[in-house]
Amino acid sequence: MGYVICLGGMIGVGKTSYTTLIAQHLNSEAFYESVDDNRLLDLFYNDRERFAFPLQIYFLNTRFRSIKKAMRHKNNVLDRSIYEDALFAKINFEDGMMKEAEFDCYLDLLHNMLEEIQELDHCTCPTGPKKRPDLFIYLRASFETIMERIEKRGRDYEQDPSHVNYFRRLHSRYDDWVFNHYKESDVLIIDADRIDITREEDAAEFLEILDAKLREIDEKETARLVQKVSYK
């Protein structure tokens, strides 16, 4: 069985490293968030109010492109997905960095894109395109861990102390979004404070957890198909 797996979590939590590890483990294609080639990120961190809206539109467009490709193929892993995007936009709106008209425009475009995903009709999967991911992996870490990793990776535009409140606000909303708002798939929560996949033993532990979760998903899908056939 093929899987579409989305990773999510705070800025700096390690999604790219996990994406690479999972893709190698499952021999699947990896879709990475557009960061290094994103000319708007540096502008955003220097002037959030001016560049919050264009940055959100940029990310929305690139995540839409990635999820469309992922849904049409057998095995894929995405290091952030379109489903998580609205959380960032909402924080920017609540912080006064996006005007109400901009936020409404963003939401309208997002809903239109999500409807389009449900109407995908061409793919390389014999069973047809997926309509939603199979698994969302939430990399959950303390704010202290997040800040340590942001500092360690050393992206200049993230290092300004004035951004700490933005990071703190975003971090404080993640649990609520995952536990109360994300409904697209099964969720696997990983304690990213304890598990550090740069350590070989932790990477092995994570892959064991992942494999067990994928077996559980397979068993549920098999039971669903058997039940469906029995009703015919």
- pLDDT band at 103, cuts 50/70/90? very high
| Residue of 37, 42, 47, 79 marked active site | 79
Angstrom distance (rounded) from CA 195 to CA 208: 12
Q: With bands split at pLDDT 50, 70 and 90, how would you rate the model's confidence at 35?
A: confident
Q: Pull the structure tokens for residue 85.
A: 């995007």
User: What does the pLDDT average to over 153-172?
Assistant: 89
Q: What is the pLDDT of residues 105-122, one digit of tens each?
A: 999 999 999 988 877 655
Q: What is the CATH number of the domain that holds 44?
A: 3.40.50.300
The b-or-e profile of 39-72 (16+ CB within 10 A means b, else e) is ebbeebbeebeebbbebbbbbbebbbebbbebbb
pLDDT value of position 230 = 60
The answer to whether residue 124 scores a pLDDT higher than 70 is no
* Range of weakest confidence among 18-32, 85-99, 116-130: 116-130
Q: Is position 156 annotated as part of the catalytic site?
A: no
Domain enclosing residue 43, as ranges: 4-230
- Strand ranges (E), the chain: 4-9, 29-31, 76-78, 135-140, 186-191
Residue 78: what residue type? L
The reply, when asked if residue 9 is annotated as ligand binding, is yes
Q: Give the mean pLDDT of 94-107.
A: 97
Q: Which residue has the higher pLDDT, 160 or 60?
A: 60
pLDDT of residue 40: 92
Q: Read off the pLDDT of each residue in 133-155 and give the average, rounded to a whole number.
A: 93
Q: What is the pLDDT of residues 173-214, one digit of tens each?
A: 999 999 999 999 999 999 999 999 999 999 999 999 999 999
45 marked ligand binding residue: yes
Q: Considering the entire predicted model, what is its pTM? A: 0.89
Cα torsion 116, 130, 80, 41 to 10°: value is: -30
- Give me the number of domains the chain comprises: 1
Q: Which residue has the higher pLDDT, 130 or 68?
A: 68
Single-letter residue type at 117: I
Annotated binding residue at 11? yes
Q: How far apart are CA 92 and CA 187, in angstroms?
A: 26
Return the higher-pLDDT residue of 132 and 14. 14
Annotated binding residue 147: no
